[in-house]
Amino acid sequence: MSEATLPRVPSLSEREKALDSAASTLDLETDLNFRQTCRLVGRAISYIRFFPVRFSIKFLLFAISLMTPLILPWPIKIVIDNVILQQAVSPEAFPSYFAPFVTFLDGRTPFEMMVWVLILGISMVVLIGGFGSGGGSADTTDASMAQGHDTATQTENEANAAFSKFAGLLGFIEFRLQLRLSQALNHLLRSQLFERIQMLPLPMLNDQRIGDSLYRVMYDTPALTNVFFQTIMSPIGAVFTGALVLLVMSFNYGQAPEIVWLALCILPLQFLAMLPFPRAMRRRSQASRAAGSVTTGNIEEGMSNVLAVQSLGGNKRERQRFRGHSDESFKRYRAEVFVRVLYGVANGMARGLLGIIAFYFISSRVIEGVLTPGDYGVLFYYYAWLSGAVTALPYLWIRIQADIPGIRRVFFLMDLPSESDREGAELQAIREGIELSDVSMAYPDGRQALTDISVTFSVGEITALVGPTGAGKTSLAYLIPGYHEPSHGAIQVDGRNVKEYSLRSLRNEVAYVFQETQLFSDSIRDNIRYGHPSATDEEVERVARVAGAHDFITSLPEGYDTPLGTVTSKISVGQKQRIAIARGLIKPASVLILDEPTSALDPETESYLVQALQEAAKDRLVIIIAHRLSTIANADKIVFLQDGKIIEQGSHDGLMAREDGAYHRFVMLQSASASRG
């Protein structure tokens, strides 16, 4: 799963080298080309289909805002030529759509003209915000929170992005509409990515670092918002505005064609100024995001292992490691900002050069009498508008280069094969049992975990998986709910291949109590009934008694309503394990799998639990992974594994009768160790 490798951060150990290698996703050798970039942009735009009505209204308001240049500069010409210089009103000197207003002013005094221009201006202020709405002007409606100069702290604004080229009443409506649209888009994308991560196969989840996944969900997804809006709005706005302005200039200033031709040179010059920067921007944004995810992963790992760090005196090492990753993250972002600055300088020089040339030509034509002083104001307004609009096209491409690595990181995870992709018949309940025939399984790295496993697990009996550490017991148990897939052989449920059933319905029939207890930041009651939300309080209390948890729960100040946390919980390891066992017992499933369920239980509680499991096994298939003889001996069938193979299987008494058997030696060794202890 390798996707922008960073230059080596000086590491302190081989563990840190492995961390950098695993967390440095998006290797620079996988740099995107033009076609791949366009494909990702197209995929981002396709999210319009989820919000057709809201986007259509937003697009309509945006299109209306692009028509404001038709009106905005002409009152300036009236004020200069007809009010200040008191020249005669000439409607033919104005565009046909504005001529009726000019005709209305014909014959009025300069004072009356100014009053009507003010009335027009006030109306425009109320409706669209004033005489100068448009990209980058003070009249554009925009709002954002304070942010830092790094990718992560800017994403909250991007996730809540909203703007309008209007500022008045229409600007308020458009701004609110886009704000809701941006939030809905980011909520959808985050939800899709979170769901996808949860549905990744277990081997992939084990390889995917939590910190990197968190960075993608929270900090990479907003990149799609920019592309979603900018790739649609900016090109259309630039092309439409540019064409509109050039058309108006051609009709009204044909007597000075060089000015129109000069305006046509703005776009080519802007693209020439942009050409050196796209690839540099893309690569630096890619590296910045990868460095940020490494830092996030470093925080997650340090917090998860804080007890080991403190007990082993690793605080200084962890501070040094975090300082190195954090410094690398900021350095990578500074490199991205540097490219932005260089592009801004190149863009400014191109615009400044054309501005000087335009100033010369327009001033010359005014001096020569070809243009009026009012035309000077109109033309400079149009040049400023046209330059701003046309600049949006090359700037858009630069902006996309900064966002496309984030979009790629999001879609990379979303495109991974998901367990939910497996559909099939609905498994209602397991009536007979599960049979494995010549099953073998290998890990993604090629290591063989299980070889030629043939065993039957029957409803109504308890089967114990026994063997030394690393024998393959948990790997075998993981095959039952489909956490692992066999590389060879077949698994049948009630005589039917398990692949014919949907994965969801299969797991609904399996309650798995893992060796590593995982509790949620919720009440004890809700933790117990997590797999059976409709369970009554009486059912919760019953399974808590079976698991030996009721007494300590009721001794807590808030009892079953005591809130827990995955890290800060004040209950012991054994108490957590009892809650997990109760959670497994309450789920209405045909199969109950317990991985080392009694490792942290006292003998009395263990005995009580074994009796409860024998009762539960009357209508369930129960599998126990255990090392303790007191748990194993009461199983109906024992399957002894070693090096990924089944060595022996049978009852406790039957296997103990084989004095040269592997299980007999295992029990004798455990008994001798217990007596020495």
Taking the C-alpha atoms of residue 323 and residue 325, their distance in angstroms, rounded to an integer, is 6
Pick from 182-196, 365-379, 499-513, 565-579: least confident: 565-579
Instruction: Give residue 274's Cα distance to chain centre.
Output: 30
Pick from 239-248, 289-298, 370-379, 475-484: least confident: 239-248
pTM: 0.69
pLDDT in tens, 431-461: 899 999 999 999 877 889 999 999 999 998 9
Taking the C-alpha atoms of residue 130 and residue 216, their distance in angstroms, rounded to an integer, is 41
Is the pLDDT at 123 greater than 70? The verdict is: yes
172 or 229, greater pLDDT: 172
Instruction: Give residue 285's Cα distance to chain centre.
Output: 17
pLDDT in tens, 592-637: 998 887 766 677 777 777 777 777 778 889 999 987 787 788 889 9
User: What was the pLDDT predicted at 12?
Assistant: 36
Is the pLDDT at 330 greater than 90? The verdict is: no
Taking the C-alpha atoms of residue 224 and residue 47, their distance in angstroms, rounded to an integer, is 9
Taking the C-alpha atoms of residue 187 and residue 174, their distance in angstroms, rounded to an integer, is 20
User: What was the pLDDT predicted at 116?
Assistant: 92
Taking the C-alpha atoms of residue 62 and residue 43, their distance in angstroms, rounded to an integer, is 22
Taking the C-alpha atoms of residue 96 and residue 94, their distance in angstroms, rounded to an integer, is 6
User: What was the pLDDT predicted at 670?
Assistant: 75
Token pair belonging to 211: 């910190």
Residues of the chain with CATH 3.40.50.300: 425-509+604-677, 516-588
pLDDT, mean of residues 387-400? 80
User: What was the pLDDT predicted at 136?
Assistant: 39
Cβ atoms < 10 Å from Cβ of 311: 9
pLDDT in tens, 373-382: 888 878 877 7
DSSP state of 619: S
Q: Residue 435's closest CA among 368, 361, 489?
A: 489
CA separation, residue 139 to residues 10, 124, 158, 259 (Å): 49, 11, 21, 27
Q: Is the dihedral of CA 94, 99, 101, 104 positive or negative?
A: positive
DSSP annotation string for 274-324: HTTSHHHHHHHHHHHHHHHHHHHHHHHHHHHTHHHHHHTT-HHHHHHHHHH
Q: Which CATH class is domain 425-509+604-677?
A: alpha beta
Residues 14-72+132-414, CATH architecture: Up-down Bundle (1.20)
Cβ atoms < 10 Å from Cβ of 552: 16
Taking the C-alpha atoms of residue 557 and residue 574, their distance in angstroms, rounded to an integer, is 19
Residues of the chain with CATH 1.20.1560.10: 14-72+132-414
What is the distance between the terminal CA atoms of the chain, rounded to a whole angstrom?
A: 46
Taking the C-alpha atoms of residue 648 and residue 656, their distance in angstroms, rounded to an integer, is 11
Residue 239: CA count within 13 A, CB half-sphere:
7
Instruction: Give residue 422's Cα distance to chain centre.
Output: 23
pLDDT in tens, 287-327: 888 888 888 877 777 777 776 777 677 788 888 888 888 88
Q: Residue 238's closest CA among 376, 346, 395?
A: 395
Taking the C-alpha atoms of residue 642 and residue 625, their distance in angstroms, rounded to an integer, is 14
Superfamily for domain range 516-588: P-loop containing nucleotide triphosphate hydrolases (3.40.50.300)
